[in-house]
Amino acid sequence: DADLCAPLPVLGSDVRVPLVTGGEVTYAALDYAASAPALQRVWDDVAAYVPYYGSVHRGAGYLSQLSTDLFEQSRAVVADFLGCRADDEVVFTRSTTDSLNLLAAVLPAGTQVFVFETEHHAALLPWERAGDASVTYLSAPRTPEQAVASLDVALHGAPKGPKLVCVTGASNVTGELWPVRELAAAAHRHGARIVLDAAQLAPHRPVDIAALDVDWVAFSGHKLYAPFGTGVLAGRADWLREAEPYLAGGGATRTVARTAAGGIDVQWHTTVARHEAGSPNVIGAYAVASACKALREAGFDGLVAREQALLSALRAGLAAIPQVRVLSLFGEDSARVGVLSFTVAGWNSSHFAAALSAEYGIGVRDGLFCAHPLLRVLAGAAQDDPGECGAPDAAPGEASLNAIRVSFGAGTPEEHIDRFLSAVRTLIRDGAAWSYRAENGRCVP
Ligand code: PMP
């Protein structure tokens, strides 16, 4: 199809892995939602820069100046990628988790936070730990319209004062797209602000802060083909500037002096540096900027067309297998990115995923995907504490909240989807060649 772009070159596409049944095979990475492989372009850019690596904002030498320039240019590239408004700030963090915890740390006194129970733990949990914020947990909606209506009702009944809504753009479990623009409009109608968890959205769709009219966006480099330890929080400057620094340390301060009384007086920066104490991770930031440029240049139209073609094949293949149940909140036909979770009747999900790896060289993820309340909703029943995220928690055939997640992206060749579907069919028909057991929280042959 002329409209589809070719898979973008990624590292690791020729990695060979041993099979428990003998021989070896090229690894099929179908766990992009956890961490995507590095784009070749990102790796090339990083490799070309590393010899010139130097400290950022902390040196007079040429390489320090170069690194400082690249760091600040990277910030501008990310701002452009996200369609930031003129007065938005881009803070480099470690990850989405770090970005959302940073935002939680700068909430004005008495902020009321509204969050759906279906969020990833990184978006669900930071708020209650933050100062005196109060949190309203909204029940899982069963349609996008219900999500907007339920937020509307909750905000309508809320007392005056600062409010923040936190929503995901695309679910890390079902891949389903959330009605971000409509949720943002609802938030703003009631004077609330909104932060978008774009960890799963940004790798698959253009995210435009101004067009979506969200106040902040958070995402992770390692899910955006830039696995060098950097995340982003971008958006409104005021709450960031008015709050205490997230981390205390060098780089966040303007002046530090002893007071007459023998203490320490600190004047913190009022710019973005306020929340970037410590030596910045310039390689990580540069890699994120490189990934942003690469995705822009490849063009989201072609990337999305290709993703949807692979997703259609995947959905059709799974729909033809009666034992497979695809998980969804908004209905099986709902709009999704290339992320999909399912269970197989009669199978423990951890064992199934272990067999896909050991017998077919296919890397998926099983577990609860750091979204335990959502998995409970999708399982349709409240159950006992399922234990650690990702840990196998039931014997084969036993009822379990665990599911299997298959996820892909810009580097995925069609062959990986074909191999996956054929492996699922064969496993269900013939059973696993080996038996699997839990060892140190992992399923092994
Ligand atoms: N939100 C969502 C929707 C995610 O999928 C993830 C990662 N699985 C996170 C937040 C947290 O991202 P990180 O682990 O990079 O901090």
Right CATH for 42-296 from 1.25.40.420, 1.10.10.60, 3.40.640.10, 3.30.450.20: 3.40.640.10
Active-site pick, 166, 370, 389, 443: 370
5 pLDDT band (50/70/90 cuts)? confident
Q: In testing the pocket of ligand 1, which one of 31, 93, 97 has its CB within 8 Å of the most ligand atoms? A: 97
What residues are paired with 282 via a beta bridge?
A: none
d(CA 193, ligand 1 centre) in Å = 21
User: Is the distance from the beta carbon of residue 218 to the nearest atom of ligand 1 less than 6 Å?
Assistant: no
Mean pLDDT for the chain? 93
- Angle of CA points 413, 208, 56, to nearest 5°: 85
d(CA 367, ligand 1 centre) in Å = 15
Name the closest-CA residue to atom 8, ligand 1.
34
User: Is the distance from the beta carbon of residue 95 to the nearest atom of ligand 1 less than 6 Å?
Assistant: yes
Give the pLDDT confidence score for residue 271 in this predicted structure. Answer: 87
The answer to whether 321 and 133 are in contact (CB under 8 A) is: no
Cα–Cα distance between 321 and 421 in angstroms, integer? Answer: 10
- Of ligand 1's listed atoms, the one at least distance from the Cα of 94 is 16
| pLDDT at 349 > cutoff 70 | yes
User: Is the distance from the beta carbon of residue 97 to the nearest atom of ligand 1 less than 6 Å?
Assistant: yes
Cα–Cα distance between 229 and 218 in angstroms, integer? Answer: 14
380 pLDDT band (50/70/90 cuts)? confident
- Of ligand 1's listed atoms, the one at least distance from the Cα of 169 is 3
What percent of the chain is modeled with pLDDT above 70?
Answer: 95
* pLDDT tens by residue, 46-74: 999 999 999 999 999 999 999 999 999 99
User: Is the distance from the beta carbon of residue 197 to the nearest atom of ligand 1 less than 6 Å?
Assistant: yes
d(CA 122, ligand 1 centre) in Å = 6
User: Is the distance from the beta carbon of residue 220 to the nearest atom of ligand 1 less than 6 Å?
Assistant: yes
In CATH terms, the superfamily for domain 16-30+300-444 is Aspartate Aminotransferase, domain 1 (3.90.1150.10)
Helices (H), 112-204: 121-124, 144-156, 180-189
399 pLDDT band (50/70/90 cuts)? very low
State the DSSP H helix or E strand holding residue 267, giving kind and residue range, or none if neither: strand 264-268
| pLDDT at 396 > cutoff 70 | no
Q: In testing the pocket of ligand 1, which one of 98, 115, 120, 224 has its CB within 8 Å of the most ligand atoms? A: 120
d(CA 168, ligand 1 centre) in Å = 10
Instruction: Give, to the nearest 10 degrees, the angle between helix 300-319 and helix 282-298.
Output: 80
Residue pointed to by tokens 């428990």:
20
User: Is the distance from the beta carbon of residue 120 to the nearest atom of ligand 1 less than 6 Å?
Assistant: yes
157 pLDDT band (50/70/90 cuts)? very high
User: Is the distance from the beta carbon of residue 99 to the nearest atom of ligand 1 less than 6 Å?
Assistant: no
Domain borders along the chain are: 16-30+300-444, 42-296
Active site residue 84: no
